[in-house]
Amino acid sequence: MSYTQLYTYRTLEFGAFVRKTEGANYSVLGVPFDFTSTYRPGSRFAPNAIREASQNLEAFCLRRSFDVETVGLEDLGDVDVLGDVEKTTDRVKCIVKEIVDAGKFPIVMGGEHTITYGCTTAFDDIAVLSFDAHLDLRDEYLGKKLSHATFMRRLCEKFGPDRFFEVGTRALCAEEMAFAANRKVEYVTSLQIIRNGIDKTTEDLLAWSSQFRRLYVTVDMDVLDPAYAPGVGNPVPEGLSPTQLLEILERIISSKVVGLDVVEVSPHYDSGLTAIQASNLIYNILAFRETSNKQ
């Protein structure tokens, strides 16, 4: 029996269109986990909130004139999480590795950002592009070495700091700044993006990513300004707009991207807007990837 069969259960399905489980290229997985959340927990309810939003959005991408309904997609349901961060991320790792070994593209919906640790460690030879208001580079937070505030540091230790680029940063502490400076972790703040423009940001991201064969993209929804995505665990002012985020993603998403997660939606803190943003983001990223070689 596979890890997917052992550790997942059925829920709503992503998208309102007919599922193409036979020969599907993309596998959706929910991880309803927020065990280490510290400000506004509730991201454990996000996967089905994103699914519900997806069923009420049109799947046609105007940016690329592409119908996402034509993409072979399956929804594997949600991971049966535990009250232990290491055991839960290990389950996520096992399931994502099965998806990857089957030649499919994982789309993981969180859940707190710590789940990215499980997702990315399922890959070999990977570089990580993270969209997030926070650096998440603390060595320890509230007595935990692995949490939503420390997981990126654990990944830097595992893969090497040169394999990470963080986009949209605007909430960090002195410890994180020192670590990023000493280890040369690349990041661009939301203020730099707003002041310098999308072209400069994209140029820097493409130059960095050209060093690597495969990319993993993780999007913490708090990268968006709270005006656009209020329902997140740790909202921070002066974030990006949905248009700015999609403009960057449209220019950098290619077949080199081999996995995606969208995390930190806390649906009870708004009227559904943030889950809608997350669902729309997934649809657009699918369209960007499917059409990347046709531009």
- The residues near 280 (Cβ < 8 Å, ≥ 6 apart) are 53, 57, 242
CA dihedral 67, 272, 232, 225 (to 10 degrees): 70
pLDDT tens sequence across 65-117: 999 999 999 999 999 999 999 999 999 999 999 999 999 999 999 999 999 99
Prediction pTM value: 0.97
Summarize pLDDT for 191-204 with one digit per residue, the tens.
999 999 999 999 99
Per-residue pLDDT tens for 130-186? 999 999 999 999 999 999 999 999 999 999 999 999 999 999 999 999 999 999 999
What distance in Å separates the CA atoms of residue 198 and residue 148, rounded to the nearest whole number? Answer: 28
pLDDT tier for residue 254 given thresholds of 50, 70 and 90: very high
Could you tell me the pLDDT band of residue 18, with boundaries at 50, 70 and 90?
low
- Domains belonging to the chain, first-starting first, are 3-294 (3.40.800.10)
Element (DSSP H or E) covering residue 217 = strand 215-220
Q: Tell me the chain's radius of gyration from C-alpha atoms.
A: 17
Distance CA 105, CA 96 (A): 9
